[in-house]
Amino acid sequence: MATIVEYTDKKAPQNLYPERIVSPPHSRPCCFSDMEEIGTSRQEVRWVYLYKRCRTCGFTVRVILHEVPDAVLLAELRQTLQTAFQRNVPDF
């Protein structure tokens, strides 16, 4: 999965959600109580997830909320294929 979080201790923590988040590489004691959700949940292929960021130090993690069941993915794929093969037939 692609991530927008850059883990580094060479830059100051920064929240540029949804483009980019600069996070320290390790969590600290403050992270246990100060984590807050950023933005809304997102779906990437078969995972629904959101980002949580520490208000104090900026440490950010991606939290997997749940896995998307195969049935849902198949339904989406079917929908995509249907649209892909649709032709605009001119009526004479």
Chain residues in the site for Zn ion (CB under 5 A): 28, 30-31, 54, 56-57, 59
Which CB atom, from 30 or from 64, has the smaller least distance to Zn ion?
30
CA distance 68 to 76: 11
Nearer to Zn ion, 26 or 78 (CB): 26
**Which is closer to Zn ion, CB of 17 or CB of 47?**
17
Q: CB of 58: closest distance to Zn ion in angstroms?
A: 7
Return the percent helix, strand and coil in the chain, to nearest 5: 20, 40, 40
